[in-house]
Amino acid sequence: MRTLYECRRAPVDEEVLQARQVDIAVKTVEIMTGIPRSDMRTKKRDRGIVTARKILAYVLARRTNLELRRIGKVVRNKEEHTTIIHYLKDVRAFARTNEVFRNLLDQTLKAYDERITNV
């Protein structure tokens, strides 16, 4: 049976885990795309930056238990879940038609999985 102290600490542990997952996802996407986090969070609409945002949103949606609002906050510092839904649809559609993008996405997911298991 868990003590009162352990019950109160459980949410903090989940927050720490999520923060670690987000940090690893951001670093992985930075490495794989060459786009720094500071650029991903700006209003810039350059193709490379937008692609990095979409990949980051996809990795977070597929590999974490984060809500779409929280993913939006991580990706663009906005709580717009509709943008994240649009990003996910775009990633799926583009991955079906573009082999280079699909390979980048697969490599990014694989790199994330390797980094998360080594923590």
Residue 27: pLDDT above 60? yes
Of how many residues is the chain composed? 119
Residue 4: pLDDT above 60? no
CA–CA separation, 83 vs 81, rounded Å?
Answer: 5
- Angstrom CA distances, 52 to 7, 25, 97, stand at 38, 11, 18
CA–CA separation, 56 vs 65, rounded Å?
Answer: 14
pLDDT for position 66 = 95
The string of pLDDT tens digits covering residues 56-96 is: 999 999 999 999 999 999 998 887 899 999 999 999 999 99
Structural domains in the chain? Answer: 11-117 (1.10.1750.10)
Give the confidence band of 118 by pLDDT, cuts at 50, 70, 90: confident
